[in-house]
Amino acid sequence: MAESDLALLQERFDYLTERESADHLAVNCPADKLIEFCTALRDEFGYDMLMDVTAVDWDAQSPRFTGIYHFLSTTKHVYLRVASDCPDDINPTLPSLCDLYAAANWHERETFDLMGIRYEGHPNLRRILMWDEYPYHPLRKEFPLAGIDVPLPAADVAEQTKASVIPAPMMGGPFVSSGDGPMSQTEPRARDESWTEKKEKPTD
Amino acid sequence: MDQKTVAYDSKVEGEVIVTQADAVINWIRKNSVWPMPMGLACCAIELMAAGGSRFDMARFGMEVMRFSPRQADCMIVAGTVTYKMAEVVRRIYEQMAEPKWVVAMGACASTGGMYRSYATMQGVDRIVPVDVYVSGCPPRPEALLDAMIKLQDKIGRESAVKNLTARKANGATPAPEMAGVGKDS
């Protein structure tokens, strides 16, 4: 079913290209055609549910950011992944799908918060997880895993308690589970236990 | 009761009981702890269980969970404190009536727990003075009850009268015990 969908879609929209995928059908769509394409997806191809909005940071590449959308057809029971490169690497933007899918609202806010992609036309593009004044986007590749030292969001609390936002102590982390074997032996542990907060991470 | 209480001899004293103000005040305080459940994550479920019939915190005179900070004197921080939430936790603490105590329930509230991440405050003691830390992820209700009994012991050892007069002389500055908090910032 999914393969025939691809043929139909490509026949109708000549700017689509098939995207390499390990599971479901995936297509690349240029950012300026996204609204037109998704409207047709919803109204004519039965992809009536927007499951997820996220993004990929390709770090040194250009285009650096790719917005990812997962659609589900509740009648055909198939998924479709749509990927759309952000034209600008410095101030990445994508059109907002809020008018098409109500689910896009919070998802796009989350992606904006953590990846810093602006969704043009979003009715309320505010941070959703981090506080409003937070200057960074934590899921970007250049953001350190433990975080960055910044002032506490509440100025009066910071003044009274002298507390600030500190990088989280990693103690050789991140802590990962090997995932196979009995649970007693797959407790999450640091891959590189040669360093701690007291003993600096060796530089190579 | 602790050693400060003087034994009561009804033949000598009649209807008068002689004791020390400290002992009386502490006895009243420690047997009428009104906790403010600051439930933020999974620990809050264990906190609810501690209040339920199986564990029944009421047996220890601390069952009066108050959801208004003005009617509570013991904040039980149960769960992960994110930096976004930290302001609210501190604000609620400030709204509580003096004297007040804080229990950090579970690994997250005590140290950030497994959340070694940019979003999680690495221990609620960075913004509020904690009296008792409870280990566990999440702690069982018994552990919380034990912590609350420990807190009662601590309240019983306080010099309540001295604190009262000292507070008055200082012009009632809020939370003077905050001085040593956040030393690593």
Q: What is the pLDDT of residues A99-158, one digit of tens each?
A: 999 999 999 999 999 999 999 999 999 999 998 889 899 999 989 888 888 998 888 888
Q: How far is B84 from chain A (nearest CA, A)?
A: 6
> What pLDDT does B22 receive?
87
pLDDT at B75: 94
Annotated binding-site residue numbers of B for [4Fe-4S] cluster = 42-43, 108, 137
Any CB–CB contact under 8 A between A172 and chain B?
no
Tell me whether A8 touches chain B (CB under 8 Å): no
B102 beta partners: B75
Which residues of B participate in the annotated binding site? 42-43, 108, 137
List, for residues B124-141, the tens digit of each pLDDT value.
Answer: 999 999 999 999 989 999
Structural domain boundaries of chain A? 1-140, 144-192
Domain spanning B32-152: which CATH class is it, in words?
A: alpha beta
Q: A77: phi > 0 → left, psi -120 to 50 → alpha, else beta; which?
A: left
Mean pLDDT across B30-40: 90
The predicted model scores a pTM of 0.78
Question: How would residue B6 be classed by pLDDT, with cut points 50, 70 and 90?
Answer: low
Q: Indicate yes or no: CB of A147 within 8 angstroms of CB of B86.
A: no
Evaluate the CA torsion angle A151, A152, A157, A162 in order and state its sign. Answer: negative
CA-closest candidate to residue A113, choices A35, A51, A55? A55
Q: Which residue of chain B is at minimal alpha-carbon distance from A132?
A: B84
Task: Indicate the SS3 state at residue A93.
Answer: strand
> Nearest CA of chain B to the CA of A158: how many Å?
8
Above 80 in pLDDT, residue A46?
Answer: yes
Question: For chain B, which residues make up each domain, given as ranges?
Answer: 32-152
Indicate the residue of A129, A157, A169 with minimum beta-carbon distance to B119.
A129
Which residue in chain B has the smallest CA separation from A162?
B182
Q: A1-140: which CATH topology?
A: Beta Polymerase; domain 2 (3.30.460)
ipTM (interface predicted TM):
0.78
Handedness of CA B62, B64, B67, B71 (dihedral sign): negative
Question: Across the interface, do B126 and A168 touch by the CB < 8 Å criterion?
Answer: no
Q: How far apart are CA B14 and CA A9, in angstroms?
A: 97
Q: Report the distance separating Cα A202 and Cα B156, nearest Å.
A: 50
CB-closest option in B90, B117, B126 to A154 = B90
Looking at this protein, which amino acid is placed at residue B4?
A: K
Q: Do B116 and A168 touch (CB under 8 A)?
A: yes
Check residue B170 and give its pLDDT.
47
Q: Is B154 on the interface with A (CB under 8 A)?
A: no
CA–CA dist A144, A169 (Å, integer): 12
- What are the structure tokens assigned to B129, written together? 């003075």
Ranking A45-59, A179-193, B99-113 by mean pLDDT, the lowest is A179-193
pLDDT for A6 equals 84
- Is the pLDDT at A85 greater than 60? The verdict is yes
